[in-house]
């Protein structure tokens, strides 16, 4: 069960946004990721709880920030409920999308698992519902993903396979590379892996 810590920063001006302390695990029915986020000062900022099935579809999502929370799942595309802490203001939403995304590295792993790309195959288009910090406002985005390379790196505990993905935002044309090993993001825009207590899990 990988456990560790990511540092998060603005991908454009590198302003520190805080840290995400996580643990995740694969199982016969899918993959689960839980984390808590902190501010640059170390204060609690929120939490992430994402579970996907063995096909990579989101079966449960819970996001919390200081003022908002979201619960969602794959249903008629994807469906979610966004509420304030009191529950007085609840908004339901649904979209013809494949999955969710957001600032957490969990969403990159989940999208890669959903697409299951092979090196050299054409880029695959995917529609996602993004929840933007700090108010978790939903925004539908279109991306294309391509697996550029899958390379094994020697480690003390055997080879570690690292996948390099090229991700394009189809609305802006912005392009970036994401490096993933198993169920851990090694590097991506705005994300740095600072600590990892055990090897990444390998998906079956």
Place of tokens 């892996």: 193
The predicted structure's pLDDT at residue 203: 87
In a domain, 167, yes or no: yes
Rounded to 5 degrees, φ, ψ at 28 are -65, -25
Number of domains in the chain: 1
For residue 73, what are the CA distances in angstroms to 47, 85, 95, 166, 195?
Answer: 17, 20, 11, 26, 30
pTM of the full predicted structure?
0.95
The answer to whether residue 155 sits within a structural domain is yes
Q: How far apart are CA 68 and CA 134, in angstroms?
A: 8
pLDDT at 87: 73
Please check whether residue 32 lies inside any domain of the structure.
Answer: yes
In this prediction, residue 191 carries a pLDDT of 97
* Residue 138 · residue 130 · CB < 8 Å: yes
> Got the DSSP string for 74-110?
ESSSEEEEEE-TTSSSEEEEEES-SEEE-SSTHHHHH
In a domain, 78, yes or no: yes
pLDDT of 92: 94
* pLDDT for position 86: 75
φ/ψ (deg, to 5) at 115: -80, -35
Would you say residue 70 lies in a domain? yes
Asked if residue 30 lies in contact with residue 73, where contact means CB atoms within 8 angstroms, the answer is no
Nearest to 30 by CA among 74, 76, 78: 74
* Angle in degrees, CA 155, 31, 152, rounded to 5: 25
pLDDT the model gives residue 143? 98
Q: Which residue range is the domain that position 153 belongs to?
A: 3-196
If residue 118 lies in a helix (H) or strand (E), which one and from where to where? none
Q: What's the pLDDT at 46?
A: 95
- Averaged in consecutive runs of 10 residues, what is the pLDDT profile of the chain (204 residues)? 95 94 93 97 96 96 93 95 84 96 97 95 96 92 97 86 96 95 96 95 86
The answer to the question of residue 71 being in a domain is: yes
Domain presence at residue 201: no
Which pLDDT belongs to residue 81? 96
Instruction: Judge whether 203 lies within some domain.
Output: no
| pLDDT attached to residue 179 | 98
């Amino acid at each position: 069960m990988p456990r560790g810590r990511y540092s998060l920063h603005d991908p454009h001006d590198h302003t520190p946004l805080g840290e995400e302390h996580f643990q995740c695990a694969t199982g016969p029915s899918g993959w689960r990721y839980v984390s808590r986020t902190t501010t640059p000062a170390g204060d609690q900022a929120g939490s992430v709880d994402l579970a996907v099935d063995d096909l990579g579809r989101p079966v449960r999502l819970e996001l919390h920030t200081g003022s908002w929370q979201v619960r969602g799942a794959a249903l008629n595309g994807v469906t979610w409920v966004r509420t304030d802490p009191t529950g007085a203001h609840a908004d339901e939403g649904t979209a013809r999308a494949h999955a969710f995304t957001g600032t957490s590295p969990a969403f990159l792993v989940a999208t890669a698992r959903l697409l299951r790309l092979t090196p050299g195959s054409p880029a695959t288009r995917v529609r996602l519902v993004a929840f933007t910090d700090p108010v978790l406002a939903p925004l539908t985005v279109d991306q294309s993903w391509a697996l550029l390379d899958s390379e094994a790196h020697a480690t003390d505990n055997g080879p570690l396979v690292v996948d390099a993905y090229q991700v394009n935002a189809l609305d802006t044309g912005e392009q970036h590379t994401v490096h993933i090993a198993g169920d851990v993001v090694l590097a991506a825009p705005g994300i740095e892996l600072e600590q990892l207590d055990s090897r990444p899990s390998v998906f079956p």
